[in-house]
Amino acid sequence: MTLAPFGARLHHALETRGRLCVGIDPHASLLAAWGLGDDVAGLERFSRTVVEALAGEVAVLKPQAAFFERFGSRGIAVLEQTVAEAREAGALVLMDAKRGDIGSTMAAYAETFLSPAGPLFSDALTVSPYLGFGSLQPALDLARANGAGVFALALTSNPEGAEVQRAVAAGGESVAQGVLRRLAAENEGAEPLGSFGAVVGATLTEAGVDLEINGPLLAPGVGAQGATAADLPRVFGDAVRHVVPSVSRDVLKHGPSVAALRAASARFVEEISAVVK
């Protein structure tokens, strides 16, 4: 089955389900708080509960691969199952694996996450452009061919990111602005929204870059990292209409109650809809 372009699928999901991405980040501390063991059985129960609670409700679920990989092959099996079940229930799955490497290796990462033949096929993948934006080409090409998307790190939510991302490259453009410019070129002409997004932290005091990339702007940092929905218009300006706020711990801490997880995510959707029209 050929999928419609990711940007169009995301646009539809945000319109119908509300503007929110919830991260599936099974921290050891959350497993303990949910009364689960810090083991594969705990991981599986945690992930299944989040999928049961939210995959039929929120636009995007974002499993953070590291929390599955730390259990080795059995953790990856849980990740495969999580992706499949979440997609089956109607959520778009954004695999948060932040991959980035020389082009020939990037092609293998792209095969892993962006080829429908693979067991980890996801609707989109986070990638790091810091081996040079051009090194991402195999992922961009495979995503485009398969109706998937890519989110490249532009201005991350952590304070350490600025030393690299705000650095001014030859020609006077910041490194982050260069990433955004290349994403805009990939999205040129796409309607209603391009498939190539940027990650821009909601925790920034100001963006200070041109965010008009005709693509989605994933905004982690809402909740546990201190940003709120009310910060979004200040950080994103007019481009706030393309923002996809992402929350992990501040939703997940309400589990294991399915009803409480749903209520928490619904509260975020409501708060966000009050500031992003």
Rounded to the nearest whole angstrom, what is the least distance from the CB of residue 244 to ligand OMP in the complex? Answer: 10
Q: Is there a contact between 72 and 41 (Cβ–Cβ < 8 Å)?
A: no
Handedness of CA 23, 24, 30, 35 (dihedral sign): positive
* 253 in active site: no
Catalytic residue among 62, 98, 253, 277: 98
Taking the least distance from each CB to ligand OMP, the nearer of 30 and 142 is: 30
Taking the least distance from each CB to ligand OMP, the nearer of 23 and 194 is: 23
Taking the least distance from each CB to ligand OMP, the nearer of 95 and 276 is: 95
Taking the least distance from each CB to ligand OMP, the nearer of 74 and 249 is: 249
Rounded to the nearest whole angstrom, what is the least distance from the CB of residue 201 to ligand OMP in the complex? Answer: 5
Rounded to the nearest whole angstrom, what is the least distance from the CB of residue 179 to ligand OMP in the complex? Answer: 13
* Contact residues for 161 (Cβ-Cβ < 8 A; gap 6+): 153, 155, 201
b/e code 13-51 from CB counts within 10 Å (16+ = b): bbeebbbbbbbbbbbeebbeebebeeebebbbbbbebbb
Rounded to the nearest whole angstrom, what is the least distance from the CB of residue 199 to ligand OMP in the complex? Answer: 5
With 0-12 / 13-18 / 19 or more C-beta atoms within 10 angstroms meaning exposed / middle / buried, residue 58 is buried
Footprint on this chain of ligand OMP (rule: CB under 6 A): 23, 25, 64, 96, 126, 156-157, 199, 201, 220-221, 223-225, 246-250
So which residues are the catalytic ones? 98
